[in-house]
Structure 1
Amino acid sequence: MAASSLRQSVSLLLSILLLILSQKGFCNKYTREDFPSDFVFGAGTSAYQYEGAVAEDGRKPSIWDKFTQEGRAPDKSNGDVTADGYHKYKEDVKLMSDLGLEAYKFSISWSRLLPDGRGAINPKGLEYYNNLINELVKQGIKLHVALYHGDLPQSLQDEYGGWLNTRIVEDFKEYANVCFREFGDRVSHWTTFSQPNIMTIGGYDYGTFAPGRCSYPFGVNCTVGNSTTEPYIVVHNILLTHAQVVKLYKNTYQTNQGGWIGMNVYSLWYYPLSDSLADIEATQRVKDFLMGWILEPLVFGDYPKIMKKNVGSRLPSFTQQQTELVKGSFDFIGLNYYTSSYVTDSPNNSHLVLRDFSKDMFAKTRGFLNETASEGPPTHMLSDPLGLQNMLEYLKNKFANPAIYIEENGYGLGAIKMLHDTDRINYLRDYIGSILNALRNGANVKGYFVWSLVDLFELLAGYKSSYGLYYVDFDDEKRKRVPKLSAHWYSNFIKNIEGDAVGEKSLASQ
């Protein structure tokens, strides 16, 4: 058999094996009691995707408001109302309590709290977050709060280019200080930035996320931007900002408030498409570029060597003082994880003048169990719980076993009223089982959050895809919540109600 045919056969067998694992279930013989008592199970949302009320009570636009109002979301939709969490937070906290959630992860809208990005606090914004936080505390639900989930105040983008300018460091630090001072007495965990790697690639290389900057031939429908340099500048400024904010928290607030602070990274597990050395090396390059881009500075104080080699002078460098500030600037790492992908080597094309993140990586990813090739983050998703276990053990071995919270994990289904979502139940059960396997192998995992609590505006799909434990009818102005079967299953699991007879104890009847 030719080597190429052998590699294809191996790849096919791997695909079949992983598909069988996903269909049969992955470590599903477990209960809540198999996890440590301090391990938390929760669910999450983010401000722009959940709150709505974008022009109410003093809130001013963020870059996502402008991006969607220009019709640049995938289905031309927006988050103007979405799940209307701004008005329905009390009802939603009651749902969390009925579910038995132990923790809730949400983000704060910078432009709701500080409408101009700095300066005077918006009293209505302050009131909203205090009311939400107090409701959660009243129900005994732990707070995991993200300071930033991609929604930069538009005023700062207009004034000096936002994350492309080092002026952002002091403005974000001022905003973080307000949050720590006003809310930190009740918040157990702070995440400075959610998935800055994927937000930056989408926002400054491909043009698919706000602020929609990119350049030809890499992105789509952009009128401004430079895909060759801007992604690297933005992440560099985010890392420096993160380090300054962590220093502020640790020096001023942590002793009295007792919270933890960390940073989040978007991740996929990657398999080489074949057993060739080129594909194996390309797979490691992708891990270094996508995840090491964020994690290596945080753990080791500098970017991965392969990034420095391939990107060259376009990759900003840390001064010695910055290295010392960034290195070790976390108590935990947040991980967003959904699926896996295959990687195949792509020619270096070093003679090309124009380059972007994908060209620098010179590798292609293929959607998991899908033959459609695409450069950049795959959008096709199938279940591979083994990939999450591999990821957690990789982080344990490569990055000195940091404390990890799975801050997003979930399963998207078509945006129809699919209440009998058994596929989502199988997915959640299998992925939680993979976390238990990793825990038993020594990974330092501390918590798990389902994405998302309720159906909401999805950054990649608008309202075409549904991730919520609760169905939301977006055609109904009341935005009524209806528990899906997965909500019953997750509730029964957290409460240690035996069996998969989800729905036996209806949340609606509690």
Structure 2
Amino acid sequence: MEQIFALFTIFLAFAFSGRCSDDFSRYDFPDGFVFGAGTSAYQWEGAATEDGRKPSVWDTLCHSRNQGNGDMTCDGYHKYKEDVKLMVDTNLDAFRFSISWSRLIPSKILQEPHLRISNACKLTTGNEPYVTLYHYDHPQYLEDEYGGWLNRLMIKDFTAYADVCFREFGNHVKFWTTINEANVFSIGGYTDGLTPPGRCSIPGRNCLSGNSSTEQYIVGHNLLLAHASSSRIYKQKYKDMQGGFVGLSLYFLGLIPSTSSKDDYIATQRAKSFYTGWMLGPLIYGHYPDTMKRIVGSRLIRFHRSHTLSCGFCHKHQIQTFSVREPKFLLRHGLTKLFCICLNKYAVAPWAMEVVLEYIKQSYGNPPVYILENGLSLFSNLSLLILSESAHQFSCQCEQIGIPMKQDSQLKQKDTPRVEYLHAYIGGVLKSVRNGSDTRGYFVWSFVDLYEIFGGYEVGFGLYSVNFSDPHLKRSPKLSAHWYSDFLNGKTAFLGSQGIAELQSNLSLNSY
């Protein structure tokens, strides 16, 4: 019990430690530390039917549920030169984007590699391209033919697709991500049915098929094997010539116990095993966490001795922070073996960045980490996330705790809360680096306003706003774009009324 109280005290120390400093610059980071911003193909490109592109599972899900879509979005496919110029103006070191599998290989026959993709890779050199191979959007024909990621055939097809990308674009790309947010994709797409391809068996959800009890584990396993296979191809065929690196992207939550109770501590450890250890355990140690093996049992596929997994480097996505508590109804009914937890969201908690990076350092041998997505929507009302282990089709019910954020039309351009957010989180990264974390890069999500899977065109994560009512989809810098540009240009990052007023004055002078 003393150990639990000691750990809880450490979490509180992080929570109330404050900012790394109110006064820091990019030059306080190690040489070679990369700052950038990101997008993804479906959310940024548009041009959904041009140049032979065929539907992906993301297209299918959006059109079947009438929840908005990325058919046009901000038209990055045609406006990429304009966006690259904005990246140069913003002083980005790097640009993170993904390649659309269903555009490059719209059928079983490979099309001529697209000039726009190749040009985007070339143009962003200088703004170093960080390319993701898969961002929730495999071709619909593979889903129709054999079930996509539920079938081992997908490992072979993904490896062939990765091989094409390495061959065609590898001379301009040194940093590859195989799978985007592998843990979230498995849960969202096959447990909750909220993200592509939208499969689940939860009553009341708009899922036409699926099995929430088993499919996420099958898919997660196949994703890990696909990552390993494509990484092996790169090492064998391309690394000596191209000198690049291959990594896997995971979404991390900052998880801390709600109280100092033993139950909440155990629930937090269980959540970490299922959410983080699920993927990092096999990559670092070659097997799933013991907690998962015990709870999931035979539904969790074991790795064969011939399977060689490697992290290479890990991509960390961290946007949301939660305190964890054990649901009381589980305790009353003796159901603590279920993976079911209640998560209460913190709107902004930069100390959680330190908690997560320290956890990776201590628990997984301090692998290289790039933070590929970190950002803030000023129009979000998401307050609760429920992860459930539905082995017995047991519904996990937690109270909803609303944390509405201020709705203000002026926030879209003069987005002071986003400036404060970036300042605080980058400061947290700096503190972690000084404490020994091997974190090597930080990317803002997103570079411009995009189509978002939750919130469509209303949430606006971008440094640059997009006027979606304008036929030309005009881009305009927000206050946060000016702040980030100044920071990347070496200006000391200092917040205060005078600093904010200066930024707002610059925004008024430079608006177009």
Please give the range of the TM-score, normalised by the shorter of the 2 chains.
0.7 to 0.9
For 2:447 and 2:261, the matched residues in 1 are separated by 42
2:273 to 288, 292, 296: 288
> In the alignment, which residue of structure 2 is the partner of 1:388?
353
1:342 to 323, 326, 329: 323
Decide whether the 8 Å contact of 2:181 with 2:251 is kept in 1.
Answer: yes
2:379 to 392, 410, 414: 414
**Residue identity matched to 2:65:** G
Could you state the TM-score of these two structures normalised by the residue count of structure 1? Answer: 0.87
> In the alignment, which residue of structure 2 is the partner of 1:375?
none
> In the alignment, which residue of structure 1 is the partner of 2:391?
none
User: Are positions 1:243 and 2:228 aligned together?
Assistant: yes
1:331–1:348 Cα change, 3 Å? farther
**Residue identity matched to 1:37:** D
**Residue identity matched to 1:464:** E
**Residue identity matched to 1:119:** I
User: Which structure 2 residue ranges, 5 or more long, are not aligned?
Assistant: 381-408
The alpha carbon displacement at 1:262 in A equals 0.5
Which string of whole-angstrom CA distances, capped at 9 and with x for unpartnered residues, describes residues 78-119 of structure 1? 111111100100000000000000001101000011112x43
> In the alignment, which residue of structure 2 is the partner of 1:33?
27
Alignment of 1:53-202 (within 5 A): 53-71=47-65, 76-116=67-107, 118-121=108-111, 123=112, 126-137=114-125, 140-202=126-188
> In the alignment, which residue of structure 1 is the partner of 2:219?
234
> In the alignment, which residue of structure 1 is the partner of 2:387?
none
> In the alignment, which residue of structure 2 is the partner of 1:443?
437
1:149–1:359 Cα change, 3 Å? farther
SS of residue in 1 equivalent to 2:179 = coil
1:269 to 254, 271, 284: 254
Alignment of 1:198-217 (within 5 A): 198-217=184-203
SS of residue in 1 equivalent to 2:198 = coil
Which string of whole-angstrom CA distances, capped at 9 and with x for unpartnered residues, describes residues 355-393 of structure 1? 9xx98413222222xxxxxxxxxxxxx110000011101
**Residue identity matched to 1:406:** I
The count of residues paired between Structure 1 and Structure 2 equals: 468
**Residue identity matched to 1:340:** T
2:363 to 384, 387, 398: 398
Which string of whole-angstrom CA distances, capped at 9 and with x for unpartnered residues, describes residues 431-463 of structure 1? 000000000000001000000000001112212
For 1:284 and 1:232, the matched residues in 2 are separated by 19
Decide whether the 8 Å contact of 2:35 with 2:443 is kept in 1.
Answer: yes
SS of residue in 2 equivalent to 1:224 = coil
Decide whether the 8 Å contact of 1:346 with 1:362 is kept in 2.
Answer: yes
Decide whether the 8 Å contact of 1:26 with 1:431 is kept in 2.
Answer: no
1:164–1:494 Cα change, 3 Å? same
Alignment of 1:5-20 (within 5 A): 18=15
**Residue identity matched to 1:289:** F
For 1:313 and 1:43, the matched residues in 2 are separated by 41
For 1:253 and 1:447, the matched residues in 2 are separated by 24
2:286 to 290, 298, 301: 301
1:294–1:167 Cα change, 3 Å? same
**Residue identity matched to 1:305:** D
**Residue identity matched to 1:46:** S
The alpha carbon displacement at 1:320 in A equals 1.2
> In the alignment, which residue of structure 2 is the partner of 1:502?
503
Could you state the TM-score of these two structures normalised by the residue count of structure 2? Answer: 0.87
**Residue identity matched to 1:385:** P
For 2:205 and 2:243, the matched residues in 1 are separated by 45
Which string of whole-angstrom CA distances, capped at 9 and with x for unpartnered residues, describes residues 115-144 of structure 1? 12x4322x3x5211011112112xx11111
The alpha carbon displacement at 1:477 in A equals 1.8
For 2:215 and 2:312, the matched residues in 1 are separated by 29
* Aligned Cα root-mean-square deviation (Å): 2.6
User: Which structure 1 residue ranges, 5 or more long, are not aligned?
Assistant: 1-6, 369-381
**Residue identity matched to 2:141:** S
